[in-house]
Amino acid sequence: MKAAKWIRELPLHLLLLPGLALVLIYSYVPMLGVVIAFQKFTIFSGWFGSPWVGLDNFKYVLDLPDTGRVIWNTLFIASMKIVAGLIVPIVIAILLNEVSRAFVKRSVQTLIYLPHFLSWVILSGILIDLLSPSEGLVNAFLAWISIEPIFFLADNRWFPAVLIVSDVWKEFGFSTIVYLAAITSVNPTLYEAAVMDGANRWRQTLHITLPGMMPIIVLMATLSLGNVLNAGFDQVFNLANPLVYESGDILDTMIYRIAFNDAQYGLATAVGLFKSVVSFLLISISYLLAYRFANYRIF
């Protein structure tokens, strides 16, 4: 019986082989490079010829004067992106669910979903033009209402806000679709019973829609916690400049400069390994919290 079942399921297992091969080649084999974090690595010496330095790379990076600021920038920007990236799509999904005209609903969904398909190279060029202090539309509007131009991409007070708002603008359309799908799974008879009891739309949203969305909200929040140290390299790399390193420099851009500008590959790998270990611990803790407090298991 077991042999027959194994033979029947064999094609399904064979379909997994290409995916497993890609994961092994691009995700697991490169992990051998982690040894560079414990070496004074040079390209000419390679893995086997570079001397071992133990934890000296980690100590050196932690003693750098900018490391604390970079870690704080990363945590702050990533946390704000996670919070805003949860709240905005939930609100938009609930509002779209109240739209009765299917054409309007589909049109809005398409419009807010489009930025998700654009790379940060393209969007950064758009943002640079829009936020230009001399010719940008945003500052032109501010000048029209008698407000001095703001250097959004060169002012440490405004740059983190630009990163957070632009990231939400790019990605909230994709998350909105996920939450709309969660709303469609809510039993319609619950709304009918609520109407019979005299509940208005706000009460229905508060006591039916949101609880029905809660499993997906918990899942998305849990998965996003693993990105606390991922503040968005593509975005920051394309928008940042030395004038805003004080508030916009993150771990990923720091790793990039150490590795490719200074050729300190051991130091860069040490920072990357530190970030990966912390992210792994955070996602593991988030799974535990989701199961403990929301009784929700991902696996």
Model confidence over 199-250: pLDDT tens digits?
A: 788 888 888 888 888 888 887 887 787 777 777 888 888 888 888 888 888 8
Q: What is the mean pLDDT of residues 36-65?
A: 82
Q: What is the mean pLDDT of residues 50-66?
A: 84
Res 162: pLDDT: 92
Q: Can you list the domains of the chain with their CATH numbers?
A: 58-294 (1.10.3720.10)
Q: What is the mean pLDDT of residues 267-277?
A: 84
Distance between CA atoms of 173 and 161, rounded to whole angstroms? Answer: 19
Asked if pLDDT for residue 294 goes beyond 70, the answer is no
Res 254: pLDDT: 87
CA-nearest of 82, 85, 288, 93 to 210 is 93
DSSP string, 125-165: HHHHHHT-TTT-HHHHHHHHTT-----TTT-TTTHHHHHHH
Q: What is the mean pLDDT of residues 139-156?
A: 86
Asked if pLDDT for residue 299 goes beyond 60, the answer is no
Distance between CA atoms of 94 and 87, rounded to whole angstroms? Answer: 11
pLDDT band at 296 (very low <50, low <70, confident <90, very high): low
Tell me the average pLDDT of the chain.
84
CA-nearest of 169, 178, 177 to 116 is 169
Res 165: pLDDT: 92
Asked if 205 and 171 touch (Cβ cutoff 8 Å), the reply is: no
Sign of dihedral through CA atoms 136, 141, 147, 152? negative
More confident residue, 259 or 292: 259
Res 1: pLDDT: 56
pTM: 0.82
Asked if pLDDT for residue 62 goes beyond 80, the answer is yes
